[in-house]
Amino acid sequence: MFDRDTMVAYGLIDLKNVMTLARISPTNDLITTYNTIEEADKAYEPENNAENNAKCLLYISLKNAENGSMFYDTDRNKIVIKVNNK
């Protein structure tokens, strides 16, 4: 199932080429002040301050991600995998 922001597959996904993880710098790419999309949108209107709004939304997405979610931490040059909600 696909839409603009999401792909959901209930079965095998066979990738025949390179897959690139999101490259995230926790010190530069995240704003950790807000816990909900509504708070982030109120602080940084998407139309007027898209960059900071996106940094808030990225943090919220990571915070709410399921165990097993992963990204490449550019600050530490390591892959980070969420385990036990951390």
Enter the tokens of residue 33: 């002040």
- pTM here is 0.80
What confidence score (pLDDT) does residue 25 get?
97
What confidence score (pLDDT) does residue 56 get?
95
Identify any residues that bridge with 24 across adjacent strands, giving them in sequence order. 73
CA 58, 60, 63 angle in degrees (round to 5)? 110
3-state secondary structure of 66: coil
Convert the pLDDT of each residue in 14-41 to its tens digit.
Answer: 889 998 999 999 999 999 999 999 999 9
Tell me the three-class secondary structure of 4-23, residue by residue. Answer: CCCECCCCCCCCCCCCCCCE
More confident residue, 25 or 6: 25
**Chain centroid to CA 53:** 13
What confidence score (pLDDT) does residue 2 get?
79
Q: Percent of the chain at pLDDT above 70?
A: 100
